[in-house]
Chains A and B, each alone.
Chain A
């Protein structure tokens, strides 16, 4: 493996760490995440979530998984170095929540965090082309769409006409011309 001191960005080294150090930090992060999500209590919560219909799951995430009191009732204590968060992707993958760990700050110019992300069920192929780089939906818009059985791709079709639900309401953006 190469050292990053060999890679120059202007006159400064591109990264203040070696590739081996980054690999070690990411591995340690994933180990911690796996230890947490593989506890019997979390696995039971996971089972409880996925036994619900896909329309009911976003509400369960809001009301239980994002709620420390509800987690405590299930004997789940989130380690202080981990975060449970919701998120949304530009490729419109219907995601429910993730468990995230920040890497030490010196790695942030490359990777800021590692996380394990839990998706809702979906039938459609998630695009890997330019459509993966659309602005993600607002979290509450995504959540509401899943609860009402609205395809997230249908929401993106609205944005193709100039209204992007991923940015504040009322804003309009031009569709970028992408090189192919």
Chain B
């Protein structure tokens, strides 16, 4: 497992790969998927020297939170909306918590009881390294 992870990291951390990611990020929103298909396909990456492992894939991806993470942003009559209050008093705090301590963030937003907030499409370049028969693999993701 460690060897597979190391091989994947070598490709993902390479400067050329990250330059390609940047081109996708810099593309207009409506052209990102198209640009990604040009910049991030395995053959094209190998041609510019990225040590892209055999069997790895690059694909767009939605995580559940980006295709509809459940955040209550409306007001319930007679009750204080904690998320709205936090956003007013500490702008950016929820984002900080989300990145620094996802477990606490999860408890704050309580996804099991809140209505859906649809954030809209988000491109997420992901590379997976797949083990035949194992049904699982290492991935990395970045948003744009």
Which residues on A are within 8 Å of B, measured CB to CB?
Answer: 2, 4, 7, 9, 14-15, 19, 22-23, 26-27, 30, 34, 50, 78-83, 85-91, 93, 98, 100, 102, 104-105, 108-121, 126, 128-130, 132-136, 138-139, 166-168, 176, 178-179
Total of A-B residue pairs, C-beta within 8 Å: 172
- Structural contact, B137 and A90, CB atoms closer than 8 A: no
Is B63's CB within 8 Å of the partner chain A?
A: yes
Closest-CB distance, B41 to chain A (whole angstroms): 7
Which residues on the A side are within 8 Å of B41 (C-beta)? 128-130, 132
Can you name 11 A-B residue pairings with CB atoms under 8 Å? A34-B1, A81-B103, A88-B61, A98-B63, A110-B21, A111-B12, A117-B128, A119-B130, A132-B58, A167-B121, A178-B38
Sorted nearest first, the 4 A-B pairs with minimum C-beta distance are: A80-B103, A90-B60, A133-B37, A91-B59
Contact residues in A for B99 (Cβ distance below 8 Å): 102, 104-105, 108
Partner of A23, one of B13, B19, B67, B139: B13
B135 near A50 with CB under 8 A, answer yes
Q: Which one of B21, B58, B102 contacts A102 once the chains associate, using CB atoms below 8 Å? A: B102
B130 proximity list for chain A (CB < 8 A): 119
CA distance in complex: A86, B64 (Å): 5
What residue of chain B has the Cβ atom nearest to residue A134's Cβ?
B60
> CA–CA, A116 to B129, complex, Å?
9
The listed residue (A93, A104, A167) touching B57 by CB distance below 8 A is: A93
